[in-house]
Structure 1
Amino acid sequence: MSSPITLPVRETDGQVRLDRFLRRKFTTLTQGRIEQMIRKGQIRIDGTRAKKAGDRLSPGMDVHVPQEIVIPEKKDDGIIRVRLKPEDEQWLRDMVIHEDGDVIVLNKPPGIAVQGGTGTTQHLDKMMEIFSTDDHGKPRLCHRLDKDTSGVLVFGRNPAATAFLSKAFAGRKTTKVYWAVCLGTPHPLSGEVRGWMIKAGSSKNPDHELMRRAPHGEPGAVFAITDYHVISNAGTKASWVALKPITGRTHQLRFHMAEMGYAIAGDPKYTCDREPIGGLSEQLHLHARAIRIPHPKGGILSVTADLPPHMVKAFDALGFEIFEGRDPFEHFRVDA
């Protein structure tokens, strides 16, 4: 017989009914299935058999459930997938770098999609159901990052907060700074990139889209502006560049750096004629380092996200030093 799964009740879960707690953890679990397992004595709370679906849980308790509680979903392609396992929950909770009653901010790893799309079976928007509350449901995305981009990702915890934060993004009341490792060293060392761009093709998945340069007036074209500053460089082969998007277009930073002739290391879509930087990971070296945004309750929320492992290795290899306490906004005008 397989050993049971232990689900700790955390402070973020609050005081919650057993059935609601379990449905947050396993999105395919039905009320009938929960009650059936309770009747069979398969669910225990701190070692004692659960009595009913409405049993109250408190932070610090442990809920023990059988392995069979993990109900897989079958997709049209015939592949069986598990929506959310306890280890996925811990993986997601470890991403949290700020949390309060209105806002959750994650440090998103590279390689995980923010939203679902064609062929995307695991994404953060769905997984955020583990932070659901009885009153407001799951946290909602306020903006997005490319699948291969890491860093700061903001969610609203209730409808009012989500609307407020989304309006701040749309109204350009936020300041976002990205760090990138680029091929070569841009000249001049600081400046602004601007121009018209448009989606090339008709992909329904944002991660599969490709942008191209567009003439002014082309139907569907959008105007994009990016400020940049070279923080350091490794001779002529590579540079550490801070990027501040003024607009928020799909793939904007990746497109702009490639258009300048200094593509971001590891980018398979937006390239330039420069030689790759030897010895680095093939992952995209673009990280949403920090954000300043108005908080729904007043004041400014400022959050900084640590670099992912592959970029830490790149910085070490290229001799780029990150000083403790360095202000990620120091090279740009701060709007928020």
Structure 2
Amino acid sequence: MISTPITATRILSPRTENPLPPTGTANGTPGAATIFEITASAADAGNRLDRFLAGAIGTVSRSRVKALIEAGQTSRDGTPVTDPSESVRAGAAYRLVQPAAVDAAPQAQSMPLSILFEDRHLIVLDKPAGLVVHPAPGNQDGTLVNALLAHAGDELTGIGGEKRPGIVHRLDKDTSGVMVVAKSEPAHVALSAAFAERDLERSYLALAWGVPSPAAGEVDAPVGRHPTDRKRMAVVARNGKHALTRYATERAWGTGCALLRCRLATGRTHQIRVHMAHLGHPLVGDPVYLRRIPAAARGLSVASRDVLLAFPRQALHAETLGFRHPVTGETLRFSAPLPPDMKELLALLERNGE
């Protein structure tokens, strides 16, 4: 594969096409498309076209490259190519056009955000409980994405063809804590890879019913859709994904409840909530996996028990997130304190002398 830079990468404006200098990058200019021209070597022959182009470019995700190919934005030796699975031909000159980013469909909405770190590539924030991450049926606005569109504005350089923040992981609506969001396509690609390869640090604080025995351990159990309730996840024997959660008891209040520190080795939907319920220690306030009043509640005073049973959300907080900066390579680590509602739960348990 021959490249300069990324094989004769050029910027196409609405009227003119100007080659980048030898040390240039393919960032593009406002309102302009980016053209990648890549000549395949003998070693590249036989690879899938979308995998080959994504690997050669390095800053555009494979899924985005696939979509561009299917949209007719690719040619081989001047002949249009629309099949992402086509085998690469040695010596062929491929051309991929990445159109200028368009405004995202979600509307920008100004909302207060607790920003822990921000630069041109990413934003790290402390998400409050109750905030949905991405627009979806039933939550078309008032989401984190809407807030980030208002906050970042023109600094968003385009992800997947849209000027939008790149969501590389999610926290449930009623889970609080640290999140990282990409502002550029290269950051989105690199951060997505880090999450997929588990090349990062994630720890959570959870208030659970009962006290696990042993006090520290791990749950290595596959997670998938519940066999009869499609709105829930569960530990399943078939068609589940590998899921591993390590936990340690930070503080216990009699036999009634415990504050756990959970570290994720994988990142499945509702993983901590499912694994703790599977152990017999569902999270306080969990509206999905706490199916009945737990027997452990009898180990608390009536005052404490009533408040914990009335807690309106799962008592789960993403306390720490550590990762390498997707562009600079710098090691970053962020922590967010417990939110007021969880702090008050712990203070109540202490006041009641549990």
Q: Give the TM-score range, shorter chain.
A: 0.5 to 0.7
The size of the alignment, in residue pairs, is 228
2:236 counterpart (189, 201, 214): 214
Q: How does 1:192-203 map to 2 (within 5 A)?
A: 192-200=218-226
275 and 171 in structure 1: CA distance in 2 versus 1, 3 angstrom threshold = same
Paired residue secondary structure (2:314): coil
1:186 counterpart (212, 215, 233): 212
135 and 260 in structure 1: CA distance in 2 versus 1, 3 angstrom threshold = closer
Conserved 8 A contact 2:273-2:289: yes
1:171-207 superposed Cα distances (whole Å, 9 cap, x missing partner): 100110000111111110110101122113799xxxx
Identity of aligned residues (%): 32
126 and 201 in structure 1: CA distance in 2 versus 1, 3 angstrom threshold = farther
197 and 101 in structure 1: CA distance in 2 versus 1, 3 angstrom threshold = same
1:107 deviates by 0.6
1:230-252 superposed Cα distances (whole Å, 9 cap, x missing partner): 01111111111000111110001
Show the counterpart of 1:138: 164
CA distance in 1, matches of 2:156, 2:272: 38
Q: Give the counterpart letter for 2:190 in structure 1.
A: F
CA distance in 1, matches of 2:126, 2:198: 21
State the TM-score, normalized to the length of structure 1.
0.63
Paired residue secondary structure (2:348): helix
Show the counterpart of 1:274: 295
Q: Give the counterpart letter for 1:132 in structure 2.
A: G
Paired residue secondary structure (1:125): helix
2:333 counterpart (302, 318, 335): 302
The reply to whether residue 253 of structure 1 matches residue 272 of structure 2 is: yes
Show the counterpart of 1:316: 347
> Larger relative contact order (C-alpha < 8 A, sep ≥ 6)?
1
Show the counterpart of 1:288: 318
User: Where does structure 2 lack aligned partners over 5 or more consecutive residues?
Assistant: 1-104, 158-162, 298-304
Q: Give the counterpart letter for 1:314 in structure 2.
A: L
CA RMSD of aligned residues (A): 2.4
Q: Give the counterpart letter for 1:211 in structure 2.
A: M
Conserved 8 A contact 1:202-1:209: no
Paired residue secondary structure (1:267): coil
CA distance in 2, matches of 1:170, 1:83: 29
Q: Give the counterpart letter for 1:178 in structure 2.
A: Y
CA distance in 2, matches of 1:133, 1:184: 49
1:125 counterpart (141, 145, 159): 145
Paired residue secondary structure (1:303): strand
201 and 117 in structure 1: CA distance in 2 versus 1, 3 angstrom threshold = farther
1:135 deviates by 6.2
> Structure 1 stretches (4+) deviating beyond 4 angstroms?
82-85
Conserved 8 A contact 2:282-2:290: yes
134 and 111 in structure 1: CA distance in 2 versus 1, 3 angstrom threshold = closer
134 and 182 in structure 1: CA distance in 2 versus 1, 3 angstrom threshold = closer
Conserved 8 A contact 2:155-2:183: no
The reply to whether residue 237 of structure 1 matches residue 256 of structure 2 is: yes
Conserved 8 A contact 2:322-2:333: yes
Paired residue secondary structure (1:222): coil
Q: How does 1:97-108 map to 2 (within 5 A)?
A: 97-108=116-127
